[in-house]
Structure 1
Amino acid sequence: MNNRRARTVLALLSCCFCLSLAQQPGRFNIVLQNAGISSMHTAVTHYGNVIFLDRTNIGPSAINLVGNCRDNPADMMTTHDCTAHSVIYDPSSNTVRPVFIYSDTWCSSGQFLPNGTLMQTGGSSDGGSIIRYFTPCSSGSWCNWMESSTNLQSSRWYASNQILPDGRIIVVGGRGVYNYEFQPTGGQFYLQFLKDTADFQDDNLYPYLHLLPSNLLYIFANRDSILLNYFTNTVVRKFPTIPGEPRNYPCSGSSVMLALDTANSYSKAEVLVCGGANQASFKNSDAQYGASQTCGRMEVTSNSPYWDMSYMPFRRNMGDMVLLPTAKVLIINGAQNGSQGYLLASNPILNPLLYDPDKKTFEIQAPSTIPRVYHSTANLLPDGRVLVAGSNTRYTYQYTGPFPTELRVETFSPAYLDATNDWLRPRIAKNPFTITYGMPFSVDVAIPGKLVGNIQLTLLSSPFTTHSFSQGQRQLKLPVAASVLSYANTYYVASTAPPSSVVAPPSYYMLFALHNGIPSQAVWVLVTS
C-alpha cells in the first residue's frame, strides 16, 4: 500500500472510531429470551418463518419434543432423546415450535429448491450422507423434517451448496472429500483444487460458492479461487491468491457476491471476502493470534481480475455477511482473536460494520450486548431487520463459564428502519406472486407523502446460513421503466423480471421497493420460467 493510500485508510478509520455510542447507527433488540436451541444453521422460509437447526448429538437441548422422542443408537450423547434440535421461529409472534429431526446435522449444508423446500445435506456420524427435506408451511400449520430414501454419493461434513439454473443443487467438498456432486440427480466429479487447498489444518472447508451470470461457478477455498465449468467438469480459470490469512473454516472469514445490476445487464459480478484468521490459530489456539483485518474485492467477470484490498476498522473472524435491501453489506458477529472451533476464539466483537460497495467504506454500527462467536448465524428478514441467533462454544449445552450456550435471539435494525425515515418508507400495495423470466411485471408502491427521487426494486434470495457463510445468498437490482402516480400517493412501477435462470436461479425471492434509499417490507415472489 502506498503512503497516500495508507493515510486515506487511516483517516477513514479515525473518522469511524470518533463516533460515540449514541452516534453509532442501527440498534439491537432481544426478541426471544429462549429459543430452546442454539441455532448452528438458520434459514428464512417464503412464509416468513425461520428454521433453526443445531446438531442432534449434542445432548439435551432446552426445549422438549411434542408427543415423541428420538431413539437413535448411533447418537454419541443421548440415544433416547426427548428434546428438540430444530425449531420453527415465527417472528410475528416471537414464538417457537419444536420440530423432530433424526440424523446428525453437525456442520452440514443446505439450499432452498425451486418450490421453496429446503434441501439439507450431510453432517457427522450417521448424518454424513443423509439428505433431508423441510417443506415450509404457514404459521399455525404443521410441517416437519423428512429424510430422503436416497443418500449423498459421498459423506460430507463442512460442505457447501449452491442452487443451479436448472434447479439442481451442487454440493461441493467436505472434510477429506475432494469432489462435488449434483442433487437430486447427477454424477460426482473429482476436483483437484479441493485437495490442493487442504493444508495441515484443512483451511478449505465450507468453500465459498457463487454462481456467476456466465453460468460458471466461482469457488473460493483457503486463499485461492477458481472458475468451474460444471457442464464439462473443467477448471477454466484460476484467480490470483488473496493476500493475507486463510479465509475458510476453521480460519473463517465470510464472502458475498455483490448485487447484480440491470445497469450492466447483470453481466458484472464482484466477490467480496472479509476477515479470516492466522493460519496457526486453529492448531495453536493457546496463542490466540489476531484475526484478519482485511477485505478483498475482485471483479471475477473481468478479463484481468485482481484483489482490491481494504482494511476493516476491526480484526474479525467468524463474521457473517448479510446483503441488505440497499445493496450494502452488513458484517456482523465474530471475534478478534483465535479461530472457529470449540473455545478456540476470544475477544468477541460486538459492533457490526456496514460496507458501502459504491464508496468502498466501512461504517461502525451500534453494538450488541451478546457475544456471538462459534456457531452463530445472521439472516435478513422480510421486514428489513437482520435476525441474529446461536453461539455455542461447547460440545454440549452449558450455561455457565466463558461464552456459555446462547439461547437468546435478537434482531439488528439498520438505520433505514429508524422512525425518522417513516415519511419516506414505501409500502408494496399490490404485487405479483410469480414473475416469469424476461417478462414485464408491475408493482403498486404507496408513498407516505411526496415522491423523492426514484422508486427502485431489488430481489434478494433466502440463503442457508452456517459457519459464517450464507449459501445461495444473491441480490439483483431490477430495472424500473416507469413510476407513474396511479391513485392516492400510490405509484404504478413497471419492471422486467430477470432475463434467465442463470441470473436468478428459480426460487422464492424477497422483493423490496426502495424510496430514496429506504426499503419497504418485502413481499415473496416466485421467480420461474
Structure 2
Amino acid sequence: MKRTAARTLLLSLLMSAYLCSLAMGQAGAQGQWKTLPYLMPINPVHMALMNNGKVLIVSGSGFVSTNTSYEAAVWDPRTGTITRQPLGWDMFCNGMVVLPDGRVFINGGNLRYDPFLGEVRSSAYDPTTGQFTDLANMAHGRWYPTVTTLGDGSVMTFSGLSEVGATNTAVEIYTVGSGWSQEYQSGWTPPLYPRMHLLPNGNVFVSGPAPVTMIFNTTTKTWSVVAPTNYSGMRTYGSSVLLPLSPVDGYKPRVMIFGGGDPATVSTEIIDLSAASPQWQFGPPMSQPRIEMNATILPNGKVLALGGSRNDEDATTASLNADLYNPETNTFSSAGANAFPRLYHSNALLLPDATVLVVGGNPQRGTYEQRMEIYSPAYLFSADSSLATRPTITGVPGAIGYGGAFQVQAPDAANIASVVLMRPGAPTHAFDMDQRLVKLSYTAGSGVLNVTAPPNGNTAPPGYYMLFILNSAGVPSIASFVQLSAFTADFSLSATPASRTVLPGGSTSYTATVTPGTGFTESVSFSVSGLPSGATATFNPTSVNGSGPTTMNVTTSLTTPLGAYQLTITGYSGGLVHSATVTLIVGLPALP
C-alpha cells in the first residue's frame, strides 16, 4: 500500500515537473499568460494608459440601463490597487485619447438607453489631481464616436449617434485653450466607431469597418474615397492598426485590418497608402475568426491579435488563441492562448513593462468578465524560457522637440538594436484610438544613445510617449515616458498670494506670473478651475507674450457658499500646459 502511494506521488511529481517544463519551454517561443490574483471591480469598457504609468478605466453606467451610479477607476500596475471614483454623467461608449498635456480626453457618451442617444459633453481627466473637469460642449451629441489626435495636438471627432439618435455626420476639432471648431459636414454617413488613423502627411484615413475606405483632408476639410476592401462585408468589431513607422522608408504608412463580421472572418488586409494608387491586399489569415477582438502593437513592432469569437457575443465560439503578426515577414505565429472569453467591451493595452493587460468581456447586460490577464511576450524570455536580461535606461530628457537630437543614457548602448517611441494606448470596442509606434534614428556612444526625434507632429502627434530600447536579442527595456512637443523651450507659472479671504459678494485678486525658460517667447493664455458657485474670474491681460504677470480678478456673489476653495490657474502655450494653485476663502477674515 505504501509502495503504491509512493509510486503515485512520484508519478504526480514527475508529471507536474513535465507540465511546468512544457509551460516554461513555451514561454521562450510563445510568451506566457497569467491571471492576476484580484478582480476588476467595474466594467472596463474604456481604458487609457497615462504618463504616470497608471491606467484610467471608464465604465460610466457599465452597460446597465438602470445604473445611475456612473463610475471610473484608476489601476496601478505596480501596486495592484484599483481606486474607484464617481462620474458626474454617463461616459459609457465615449471616444477617448490622451491630450498633449497628459490629460485624458473623454468625448461624448450615453444620454439615454434604448434607443441610445449621444452626449454633447466632453471631459478631461487630470492624472496629477485625479479629477475630471468638463470641457466645452460639442454642437451635437455623440455615442460611439472615434477621436483622433492630429499633428498639431488638436483632436478630431467623427461619427456617433447624436442627441436625437441620428448618426452625426460632421467633423468637429477640439483645441486645448480655445475649444471646438465649427462643424465640417462630411456629406456621407460613416459607420459608428470608424477606424481612423492619422497619416504622416497630416490627413486622416478611415479603414473601416465598412468596405469603402476614405481619407479626410485636414487642410481642406474634405473627404475622398481611397479603395474598397477585398472582404465585401462589414468588418463589424474587427480591428485596425497603423503599422510601425520608420525613418528608413520615409515613414511609409501601411494600415492593417483584422477580422470582424458576424460570423467573423479570419482574414486580414493591408494597404500601403504611400502608393500612387493604394489598394488593399489580403494578408495572412489569423488562427481563428474574431469579432470583438483586440490588436495591440508591441515594442518590437509585432502586433498581438487576440480575443473575440466566431459568432458575436457567443462565448461558446470564443477565440482563445492569440496570434502574433510580424510586419517584416508578413506572417503570424502563435502567442499561446488566454484563459477566458474576451468578447464585447473587452480590451487589451500595452503597459510600460512591455507586457499586455487583457480585461473585460460583456456579452450580456449586467454581467462582465472580472478576471484580469497579463500576457508576457516571448521577448521577455530566453531560449531556455528563463527570464531574459533586459537593457536599462538610466537617463532620458523629460521633453524632446521635433527633429531635435537628444540622449538616452544606457549602460549597454553598444548592444542596442532599436529605439522606439510608442504612444500609450486608449482601446475600446475592438479598436485602439491612440496607439502608435515610431522608430527612431540613433547612434551609439559609450553608455549613451544619440537619438533623433521624429520630424513633425503628423509622424508623431505631440504628447507623452513610452520610449523603449531593444537589444540585439529583441529584448525591450522598461519604458521611460518622454513628452514630445513642437516647443523645445518651456515656461513655468507661479501665483501669489497663496490665499485670499473675501465676504460673499466681495472681490479679490491674484497675480499669476509666467517665467520663461531658455528661448521661450511664445504667448501664454490662461484659465481657472475650482471656483465656487456664484463666483466668476477674469484675467487682465488675457494672455502674456514670453514673460510677465496677469491679474486674476475673482468676484463672488451674495449666494456664494462659505468655505475654502482651491483654485487652479492654468497657462497654455501650444502643447505646453502648466498650473499653479491658490486658495480662496469665502467668509469672515481670521481675528488678529
TM-score of the superposition, structure 1-length normalised? 0.80
Q: Does 1:223 align with 2:248?
A: no
Contact preservation (8 Å) 1:228, 1:237: no
Q: Which consecutive residues of structure 1, in runs of 5 or more, have no partner in the other structure?
A: 1-19, 60-75, 198-203, 279-288, 399-404, 486-490
Contact preservation (8 Å) 1:348, 1:372: yes
Q: Which residue of 2 aligns with 1:498?
A: 454
CA shift, 1:29, in A, is 1.5
Q: Which residue of 2 aligns with 1:285?
A: none
Q: Which residue of 2 aligns with 1:413?
A: 376
Q: Which residue of 1 aligns with 2:492?
A: none
CA shift, 1:415, in A, is 0.5
Question: What is the CA–CA distance in structure 2 between the aligned matches of 1:78 and 1:493, rounded to whole Å?
Answer: 52
Question: What is the CA–CA distance in structure 1 between the aligned matches of 2:435 and 2:265, rounded to whole Å?
Answer: 23
How do residues 47-58 of structure 1 correspond to structure 2 at under 5 angstroms?
47-56=52-61, 58=63
Amino acid at match of 1:321: A
Equivalent residue for 1:146, pick from 121, 128, 133: 133
Q: Which residue of 1 aligns with 2:408?
A: 443
Contact preservation (8 Å) 1:111, 1:161: yes
How do residues 78-227 of structure 1 correspond to structure 2 at under 5 angstroms?
78-79=67-68, 81=69, 85-125=71-111, 128-137=119-128, 143-148=130-135, 150-175=136-161, 176-183=167-174, 184-193=179-188, 195=189, 204-221=191-208, 222-227=210-215
Amino acid at match of 1:462: P
Secondary structure at 2:137's aligned position in 1? coil
Amino acid at match of 1:38: N
Q: Does 1:367 align with 2:337?
A: yes
Moved more, 23-32 or 168-177: 23-32
Question: What is the CA–CA distance in structure 2 between the aligned matches of 1:418 and 1:253, rounded to whole Å?
Answer: 30
* CA shift in 2, pair 1:438/1:57, >3 Å: closer
Equivalent residue for 2:270, pick from 297, 300, 309: 297
CA shift, 1:421, in A, is 7.0
Moved more, 46-55 or 414-423: 414-423
Q: Which residue of 1 aligns with 2:346?
A: 376
CA shift, 1:422, in A, is 5.1
Amino acid at match of 1:55: G
Q: Does 1:77 align with 2:66?
A: yes
Matched-pair identity in %: 30
Equivalent residue for 1:31, pick from 33, 36, 40: 36
CA shift, 1:239, in A, is 2.0
Equivalent residue for 1:308, pick from 272, 281, 285: 281
Secondary structure at 1:162's aligned position in 2? strand
Provide, for residues 489-509 of structure 1, a one-character-per-residue CA deviation record: whole Å limited to 9, x for no partner: xx2111111111121111000
Amino acid at match of 2:470: L
Q: Which residue of 1 aligns with 2:468?
A: 512
Question: What is the CA–CA distance in structure 2 between the aligned matches of 1:275 and 1:58, rounded to whole Å?
Answer: 24
Q: Does 1:273 align with 2:247?
A: no
Amino acid at match of 2:71: H
Amino acid at match of 1:208: R
Greater RCO (CA < 8 Å, at least 6 residues apart): 1
Amino acid at match of 1:211: L
Q: Which residue of 2 aligns with 1:526?
A: 483
Provide, for residues 389-411 of structure 1, a one-character-per-residue CA deviation record: whole Å limited to 9, x for no partner: 11112222x3xxxxxx2112221
Q: Which residue of 2 aligns with 1:255?
A: 240
Secondary structure at 1:107's aligned position in 2? coil
Amino acid at match of 1:306: Q
CA shift, 1:57, in A, is 6.1
Amino acid at match of 2:124: Y
CA shift, 1:370, in A, is 1.3
Question: What is the CA–CA distance in structure 1 between the aligned matches of 2:465 and 2:172, rounded to whole Å?
Answer: 25
Contact preservation (8 Å) 1:99, 1:145: no
Q: Does 1:352 align with 2:352?
A: no
Amino acid at match of 1:146: T
Equivalent residue for 1:428, pick from 371, 377, 393: 393
CA shift, 1:241, in A, is 3.0
CA shift, 1:455, in A, is 2.9
Tell me the number of residue pairs that the alignment of Structure 1 and Structure 2 aligns: 443
Question: What is the CA–CA distance in structure 1 between the aligned matches of 2:146 and 2:34, rounded to whole Å?
Answer: 31
Provide, for residues 8-35 of structure 1, a one-character-per-residue CA deviation record: whole Å limited to 9, x for no partner: xxxxxxxxxxxx9764611112224222
CA shift, 1:436, in A, is 0.7
Provide, for residues 75-112 of structure 1, a one-character-per-residue CA deviation record: whole Å limited to 9, x for no partner: x5145x4xx62110000010111122121122111111
Contact preservation (8 Å) 1:99, 1:144: no
Contact preservation (8 Å) 1:100, 1:144: no
Question: What is the CA–CA distance in structure 2 between the aligned matches of 1:363 and 1:228, rounded to whole Å?
Answer: 34
Question: What is the CA–CA distance in structure 1 between the aligned matches of 2:151 and 2:386, rounded to whole Å?
Answer: 38
* CA shift in 2, pair 1:261/1:205, >3 Å: same
Contact preservation (8 Å) 2:207, 2:240: no
Question: What is the CA–CA distance in structure 2 between the aligned matches of 1:165 and 1:415, rounded to whole Å?
Answer: 34
Question: What is the CA–CA distance in structure 2 between the aligned matches of 1:116 and 1:439, rounded to whole Å?
Answer: 21
State the Cα RMSD in Å: 2.0
CA shift, 1:345, in A, is 6.2
Contact preservation (8 Å) 1:58, 1:77: no
Contact preservation (8 Å) 2:43, 2:370: yes
Question: What is the CA–CA distance in structure 2 between the aligned matches of 1:144 and 1:441, rounded to whole Å?
Answer: 33
Question: What is the CA–CA distance in structure 1 between the aligned matches of 2:316 and 2:211, rounded to whole Å?
Answer: 23
Contact preservation (8 Å) 1:57, 1:77: no
Amino acid at match of 1:180: V
Secondary structure at 2:317's aligned position in 1? strand
Secondary structure at 1:98's aligned position in 2? strand
Question: What is the CA–CA distance in structure 2 between the aligned matches of 1:244 and 1:427, rounded to whole Å?
Answer: 47
* CA shift in 2, pair 1:57/1:253, >3 Å: closer
Contact preservation (8 Å) 1:245, 1:292: no
Amino acid at match of 1:144: Q
Question: What is the CA–CA distance in structure 2 between the aligned matches of 1:121 and 1:429, rounded to whole Å?
Answer: 37
Q: Which residue of 2 aligns with 1:463?
A: 425
* CA shift in 2, pair 1:344/1:177, >3 Å: farther
Amino acid at match of 1:261: S
Contact preservation (8 Å) 2:293, 2:342: no
Q: Which consecutive residues of structure 2, in runs of 5 or more, have no partner in the other structure?
A: 1-21, 113-117, 162-166, 487-592
TM-score of the superposition, structure 2-length normalised? 0.72
Amino acid at match of 1:133: A
CA shift, 1:365, in A, is 1.5
CA shift, 1:257, in A, is 0.3
CA shift, 1:230, in A, is 2.1
* CA shift in 2, pair 1:78/1:316, >3 Å: closer
Secondary structure at 1:416's aligned position in 2? helix
Contact preservation (8 Å) 2:296, 2:348: yes
Contact preservation (8 Å) 1:100, 1:145: no
Q: Which residue of 2 aligns with 1:483?
A: 444
Provide, for residues 345-380 of structure 1, a one-character-per-residue CA deviation record: whole Å limited to 9, x for no partner: 641111211000010000111111111111000010
Amino acid at match of 1:107: C
Larger radius of gyration, structure 1 or 2? 2
* Structure with higher strand content: 2
Moved more, 175-184 or 354-363: 175-184
Contact preservation (8 Å) 2:388, 2:475: no
Question: What is the CA–CA distance in structure 1 between the aligned matches of 2:294 and 2:105, rounded to whole Å?
Answer: 21
Moved more, 461-470 or 98-107: 98-107
Secondary structure at 2:410's aligned position in 1? strand
